[in-house]
Amino acid sequence: MTDVLDGDIAALTGAYRSGQTSPVEVLEATLARVAQRNPAINALAHLDADGAAEAAHASARRWAAGTARSPLDGVPVTIKDSVNAAGMPWRHGCLAFDDVPDASVDAPPAARLKEAGAVIVGKTTMPDFGMMAAGVSSLYGITRNPWDLTRSTGGSSSGAGAALAAGIGFASVGTDIAGSVRLPAGHCGLVALKPTQGRIPHLAPSTMRSAGPMARTVGDATLLYDVLSRPDARDLWALAAESGATSPEPLSPNGLRIGVLTELNPGFAAEAAVAEVVGTAAAALAAGGATIAAMGPVFDRDPYPALDRVFAVRAVTELQSIPEDRRHLVHPVIRDWCASAADHTAADFTRDSEAVARSAETMRAACAEYDFVIAPVLPMVGFAAEVCGGDESHPLAHCGFTAWANQTAAPASAVCFGFAAGMPVGVQVIGPRLADRAVLRLTKWLETARGFDIDWPHPVAAGVGGTR
């Protein structure tokens, strides 16, 4: 069964089709793996063993009858704490929300998974409000990176990253407001896609935050993307559905113009080890026939402060929604960071939003010179598990390479393309708006060209599990 759990979704469903195994047997093995590996990494916020068993038995009957609903039928998956699923808790990573009633409706990603017959094993951890690109939460404690339990998973889809790298489930739904699916993918050696805003329906509708697929392979992420991107009228910003399925064939870089971005603005650039991996990816693309051009800094000065204040207003709004006698339960890093936003006026917020829009257009125009842009996922090779970001006073400040794709609405993927000091290093593929499928296919080409297979870690608790 280990071979099945460590394979991809196509191999798993092939085994279902042939009768080699069943969704019930695979769920039982997945739950055994949760018991064995999750104590070391603290990736799961909620385990829905009964609901998963019911879904697995229903899937087994469909496979036996030859009526599987989709390529995800019977596939064990997880969803982020912030994605509502009927009967499961929603906590948004925060101890102050531990008294919120369980969800009564499925958010679009959960609804699509259930329609496709996927087996939702449970929910994964995240930091408070999703406003920290690290695996630290006032409710869940520390989520740890399976590659090195002393290192961070990134965030805010931290538990999804840890679970997948540890071989728990085949895919996961995360959400991304500044890099929150791509950053854990970068830290943990995974594949993720932040789609064009509106491509994957979610609630509440947003022009900045998106749900996105995460997996160990591009093929698996693509299968999840095809399910999640089906329409849902409740998301008022949702795009019209694409036709057919995404081609599984890699997109050849031959003839493409590809920009290489390793310095966003003076003072914000990739460290040498990260830049080396991005350079290796660029060399592979050049060898594949692409025209490669090094991009200069997109901005002549740091554009982040205005975006940071926009994020802080979002965070303080959520903080103020909590009864005053429970606000102390929110992680102090988040409370301290967003405190000053309580004094921002509507005019301040409007000015910051307009500054962000101008910076987004600068980023869009710079990327529009090329068919695709490759860039780091994050500027450094990670940080310690208990740390709340590259700069704890501004817990999203190290997200510059990822955050601007949320503002331009461009699809952007992450894929592991190397290692430094034993830790994965990811590369980001950024495409033009609506080119999600092309981004996935070029990411697939990079995956096939990287020249190594990933030997996934098997974490075992050794006194450094998740703690507050």
Q: Which of 22, 59, 70, 80 is catalytic?
A: 80
Q: Which of 59, 70, 156, 210 is catalytic?
A: 156
Residue 80 among the catalytic residues? yes
Q: Which of 138, 172, 180, 413 is catalytic?
A: 180
Residue 180 among the catalytic residues? yes
- Under the phi-then-psi rule, with left for phi > 0, alpha for psi from -120 to 50, and beta for the rest, what region is 249? beta
Task: Give the end-to-end CA distance of the chain in Å, rounded to a whole number.
Answer: 34
Residue 156 among the catalytic residues? yes
Catalytic (active-site) positions: 80, 156, 180
